[in-house]
Amino acid sequence: MHLAVLTVVAVFITCGVYLLLDRTLLRVVIGLGLLSNGVNLALLASGGLGPGAAPILGHGSAAIVDPLPQALILTAIVIGFGVTALLLTLAFASYQSQLSDDLEDLHGRLDDE
Amino acid sequence: MPAVFLAAALPFVVSPILLLFRRPDRRAGLLSAAACAGAFACFVSVALGASPATVALPWIGPLGLSFSLHADPLALFFALLITGVGFLVAAFATSYLDSNENFPRFFSFLMLFTGSMLGVVLSSNLMALFVFWEMTSFSSFLLIGFWHHRERSRYGALKALVVTGSGGLAMLLGFIMVGIVCGSFEIAVLAERGALLAANPWATPAVLLIIAGVLTKSAQLPFHLWLPSAMEAPTPVSAFLHAATMVKAGLFMVARLGPLLSVVPLWTPTLALFGLLTMTWCGWLALRQKDLKALLAFSTVSQLGLILVLLAPAEPDTTAAGLLHLLNHACFKGALFLLVGVLEHELHTRDLSLMGPLRRNMPFTWLLIALAALSMAGVPPMGGFVSKELFLDHLLNGHPLLALLAVAGAVLTAAYCFALAAGLAAGRRPDGPRGQDPSLSLLLPPALLVAATVGLGIFPDQLVGAPVAAATLAATGSSVTGHFAVWHGAGPSLWTSAFAVSMGLALWWGWWQKRVPPASTLIADRVYDHALEQLETRARRLTASYMSGILWRYCSVILLTVIVGVAVVAASQGFVIQDGWSSRHAGPWDLAVCATAILAALATLKARTRLAAILALGASGFSLALMFALSAAPDLALTQIMVETISVPLFLAVFAFLPPYQVDRVRRARPLHAVLAVAAGLGTALLLAASRSQRVAEPISSFFVEKSVDAAGGHNVVNVILVDFRALDTLGEITVLGVAAIACYAIIKLLSEKEAGR
């Protein structure tokens, strides 16, 4: 299981970083989303991937998995959502006012102003 | 509360109170003068032994720093000088400033300075001293730039801050070196550890750095450039900061630390040489000035050089002479500045070549100027004569070349003093601006200072013999052998003095009036301007080189730094991936979900349309949710599904407003990006694999599992952590989300309003 999860982490982060470095605004936002997915999975893997039951007590004496990474990830998912929403709004706004979603193009324009 | 503490704190207490006054309220000045007088009285009570001289307060314990004030006779000498002159200057400024000036601000800054200066002389800890030292530079900056609407004021203020500030930083470095070598920052402890310092190779650089601080603060060559520019300050400030007190902080440092630092052989000769060169060269520059304040500024620099020469050897006799001249200089130069202020106030000019016959128009003002100038020239029976005698006495016993420089300095001093006094008496322009002697409130403060310098000439020993002797004892640790007197007998110093005065007279009479070349821009000024300009352009260029404004460049730099940093650490620490991590066996469902996730991620790269890219991102998110579900994390799975369900429509909503999706925009750097991306992905996976075998401590999760039911009454441990154990973090998270929501709303609202307005 570990190897499979590590592969997924590697692919998510590779794709995420590659998109993050792109010129097109929407691809940057998508890249950031992938990147945060990859990091969340990495957090989970760092706490160990079982075997164990879900961290809910009172269901017999079975060993449970580490709850702490899960708590961290839960926070990260929500914050990641907030970031994505804000970025999308900014992308929308910048296109509305500048009529371009090309970051280098936008940069040149801001310099001219 | 001890009187020392009270006196030192008084200006700092008064400073903010002053800001509450209304703008044209002259009572601000009276309150400042009262504060100075109060502090003066406190110091007198300490000097008479009526109050303890030491206060110690804890400051930064772990660093071994205490905030303590120690009013030994040397500190008291300076403190009395500061508060005494401060009182006169505050009283003078109260009636000097025009009624539309911002009185509260002026006096608030002035009090800030007074407090800082008292802090410098009273601190018994080098670090505390440094803090106050920098505060004097800062308040000087504020006061020079008081008329901030003038370009020259801002220029002068900045220059003073740059020069004295960088000197202060050099000095801090020197202090730290000395402190580390000697193992303490307490001046009293340091004084006994000279031997430690002498034996250490770091002593020389430390001493050179401290000398840099001294030379910049006291405007000695080659840092004399800031003082003439500082003359843009209102005249009372020039008299107080740039003649009587702040510029003497450097000299105070020499007196205070001289006994310790003179164990380094470089200390005395370096200071003496710089002092002598400054005295002579700036005397020459003073002679060439037409602007009275510029003349006084250069003369101040020159006189400070003279005092520096006397204080440099850290021996009792010369130190006593130095302190006496310091006091003299504060009196006559303070008076001269105030009187030039009076001239400017009455005649609206301070150009020497435009003055009418002052002796007729403003006899009292002129008389005071003449007396002060004669004292500066070293004519008996003025105070300046007594201390200049001692100076010449000291130098005539030294190296002949130095003696020659000293005599040249004395001649130039006498010449510009005559130029000042006599030049004003007759006036170059009979038709020049006419004025009258001002009111008593403007004449009394300088008159008192002039009376002091005359008194110091006639009764030097009776007036200040005891305090100067006590201060010398405190500074050098040994007693003065001689005593001050106006008549020393006809020795070589008297002949030299007579020679210098007559030569000065001759120089002024026969040569100055026609042939002295007029003042030109200082070389140091040109260097400063050029350096500042270069610094600005280069800094701008450097910043522009990495602040490109292009997102992928920033991200590349950050990623590269992280990747290289982690790689270096991993290589040096040894990178181990061990087998045997605990992991359940992957079933067919697991493998299927992982494969889906990988495919979805790759699809985001390859998607040709925006819709496909968004759906691919959604697919990766949902497969992540499944992986959570399979890994015994039901809460995560639920949250992830919820977030994905909202995100995908959000993307799609924005999608409607964006231009056609561009996948293949021209990218020269694409291979670099691919390398960076793969390095980041692979690196993270490897780091993760290694982290399992690098556990150094037991996980803290067991605490949450054990306490979950007992302490928080919840069975779902993840929930309990979020809403109970780490509830504050969750509150922060909610706040972040709220702020993001408000920001989104505001942006969209703003846009739609703009649309509507169009």
Residues 11-70 of A with CB under 8 A from B: 11-31, 33-34, 37-38, 40-42, 44-58, 64-68, 70
Q: Which residues of B164-184 are buried (b: 16+ CB within 10 A; e: fewer)?
A: bbebbbbbbbbbbbbbebbeb
Residues 668-697 of B with CB under 8 A from A: 669, 673-674, 676-678, 680-682, 684-685, 688-689, 691-692
Look at residue A110 in the predicted model and tell me its pLDDT. 56
Closest residue in B to A45 (Cα–Cα) = B688
Residues 612-651 of B with CB under 8 A from A: 613-614, 617, 620-621, 624, 627-628, 631-636, 639-640, 643, 646-647, 650-651
Return the HEC string of B281-350: HHHHHHHCCCEHHHHHHHHHHHHHHHHHHHHCCCCHHHHHHHHHHHHHHHHHHHHHHHHHHHHHHHHCCC
Q: Could you say which of A52, A90, A102 has the minimum Cβ distance to residue B747?
A: A90
Task: Answer yes or no: do A6 and B639 touch at CB < 8 A.
Answer: no
Distance from the B531 Cα atom to the nearest Cα atom in chain A, whole angstroms: 28
For residue A49, list chain B residues with Cβ-Cβ distance below 8 A: 582-584, 631
DSSP state of B231: G
Q: Which residues contact B327 (CB under 8 A, 6 or more apart)?
A: B81, B383, B456, B464, B468
B651, B666, B706: best to mutate for the A interface, most A CBs within 10 A = B651
Distance from the B536 Cα atom to the nearest Cα atom in chain A, whole angstroms: 20
Residue B487: how many CA atoms within 13 Å on its side-chain side? 1
Residue B647: how many CA atoms within 13 Å on its side-chain side? 32
pLDDT below 50 — which residues of chain B? none
Alpha-carbon dihedral sign for residues B525, B162, B313, B449: positive
Other beta carbons within 10 Å of B267: 24
Distance CA A111, CA B211 (A): 47
Distance CA B453, CA B439 (A): 22
DSSP state of B70: E
Distance from the A44 Cα atom to the nearest Cα atom in chain B, whole angstroms: 8
Q: State the pLDDT confidence band at A101, using cuts at 50, 70 and 90.
A: confident
Closest residue in A to B731 (Cα–Cα) = A75
Task: Answer yes or no: do A64 and B705 touch at CB < 8 A.
Answer: yes
Distance from the A70 Cα atom to the nearest Cα atom in chain B, whole angstroms: 7
Closest residue in A to B686 (Cα–Cα) = A6
Rounded to 5°, angle at Cα B188 from B184 and B192? 80
A15, A32, A103: best to mutate for the B interface, most B CBs within 10 A = A15
Closest residue in B to A33 (Cα–Cα) = B617
Task: Answer yes or no: do A24 and B559 touch at CB < 8 A.
Answer: no
Collapse the DSSP code of B531 into the 3-class scheme (helix H, G, I; strand E, B; otherwise coil) and give the result. helix
Q: Could you say which of A14, A28, A104 has the minimum Cβ distance to residue B678?
A: A14
More confident residue, B259 or A51: B259
Task: Answer yes or no: do B717 and A55 touch at CB < 8 A.
Answer: yes
User: H or E segment at B57?
Assistant: strand B54-60
Q: Could you say which of B705, B722, B743 has the minimum Cβ distance to residue A86?
A: B743
Cβ atoms of B500 and B344 within 8 Å: the answer is no
Collapse the DSSP code of B66 into the 3-class scheme (helix H, G, I; strand E, B; otherwise coil) and give the result. strand
Look at residue A113 in the predicted model and tell me its pLDDT. 45
Look at residue B253 in the predicted model and tell me its pLDDT. 93
Other beta carbons within 10 Å of B755: 9
Look at residue B539 in the predicted model and tell me its pLDDT. 93
Closest residue in B to A18 (Cα–Cα) = B677
Task: Answer yes or no: do B631 and A21 touch at CB < 8 A.
Answer: no
Task: Answer yes or no: do A14 and B681 touch at CB < 8 A.
Answer: yes
Closest residue in A to B742 (Cα–Cα) = A86
User: For residue B50, how far is the Cα from the chain centroid?
Assistant: 35
End-to-end CA distance of chain A: 54
A93 at B interface, C-beta within 8 A: yes
Q: Could you say which of B584, B651, B692 has the minimum Cβ distance to residue A1?
A: B584
Task: Answer yes or no: do B715 and A49 touch at CB < 8 A.
Answer: no
- A–B: how many Cβ contacts below 8 A? 292
For residue B585, list chain A residues with Cβ-Cβ distance below 8 A: 1
Name, of A21-25, A75-79, A93-97, B430-434, the range with top average pLDDT: A75-79
Task: Answer yes or no: do B621 and A67 touch at CB < 8 A.
Answer: no
For residue B678, list chain A residues with Cβ-Cβ distance below 8 A: 14
For residue A92, list chain B residues with Cβ-Cβ distance below 8 A: 654, 657-658, 747-748, 751
Look at residue B708 in the predicted model and tell me its pLDDT. 87
More confident residue, A23 or B307: B307
For residue B677, list chain A residues with Cβ-Cβ distance below 8 A: 13-18, 21
User: H or E segment at B60?
Assistant: strand B54-60
Q: What is the mean pLDDT of residues A106-110?
A: 67
A75, A87, A90, A111: best to mutate for the B interface, most B CBs within 10 A = A75
Distance from the B68 Cα atom to the nearest Cα atom in chain A, whole angstroms: 48
Task: Answer yes or no: do B659 and A95 touch at CB < 8 A.
Answer: yes
Look at residue B575 in the predicted model and tell me its pLDDT. 74
Q: Where are the domains of chain B?
A: 1-124, 125-516, 587-657, 705-758
For residue A108, list chain B residues with Cβ-Cβ distance below 8 A: none
Q: Which residues contact B1 (CB under 8 A, 6 or more apart)?
A: none
Cβ atoms of B242 and B231 within 8 Å: the answer is yes
Distance CA B340, CA B730 (A): 67
Q: Could you say which of B556, B657, B691 has the minimum Cβ distance to residue A95?
A: B657
Task: Answer yes or no: do B650 and A88 touch at CB < 8 A.
Answer: yes
Distance CA B631, CA A46 (A): 13
Domains of chain A: 2-50+65-112 (1.10.287.3510)
